[in-house]
Structure 1
Amino acid sequence: MEVNIKEFQELSTYELYKIIQARINVFVVEQNCPYADCDGKDFDSHHLFYQDGDTITAYLRIIPAGISYSEPSIGRVLVKKEYRRQGLASEMMKKAVEYIKENFKSNSIRISAQKYLLEFYQELGFKRVSEEYLEDDIPHYEMLYKY
């Protein structure tokens, strides 16, 4: 499986299409949550994705500080259904954290985590820093990783 980290302008139109397709399939279709996926943040983000041939198997975006939060953040974390339970999400998040440590001037990372993934992110070192809130009608927590 191939791992890529690319800035928006480095993505081919084909890669961008496959990424958006994966995000819609997981977040809109699978989670039955209609929301505006194209929020303008992709232009400034770094896109980390795993590919198996032409298939995007896992994806996340790394958002620089000042766009979503005052710290860099990680969002749109997904693993395609057929590739789950293989440790890809954990591996991908660790790569994202290391990438941020090496490329961004910050000592923390903030995320908005779906409630059902709270334990997953805590195992990676993120701490819950907010009360539960609704984002697109799904319970979430803000979480912070400090290094």
Structure 2
Amino acid sequence: MCTQRQRALALVIVDVDHFKRINDGFSHQVGDLVLQQIAHLMRQSVRTQDILARFGGEELILLMPDASVQTAKEIAERMRLQIEQHPWQQIAEGLRVTASFGITGLQHSQHDMLKRADEQLYRAKDNGRNSVCIEA
């Protein structure tokens, strides 16, 4: 639909940093609570037209119609800070959670967008995690 109308479209992939450590160090129950809380935090930052879904184990995907890559970056950075600053110790003492974000804009195919956003996510992880990377 966005490609037919030449509308902007941004795709964000979010990965909870070191999620296996959370499951292994605190329990899978704590890991589930972390995912639920991150989804809640992210829903507070998205626009009504945005689509947020779990994409894999600890990955979430955010599809943002009518959003430029720059708009998506601003929203993702706000989400990143909310996740980093959340009082995770209320779930488990010593728990600290961060997330990495990869963003791309409208490409020729859905597969292309997923691939490019995933590449940016890996760039964020390679740069030390807890960051937002966009396709230049």
Q: TM-score, normalised by structure 1?
A: 0.28
Larger proportion of helix: 2
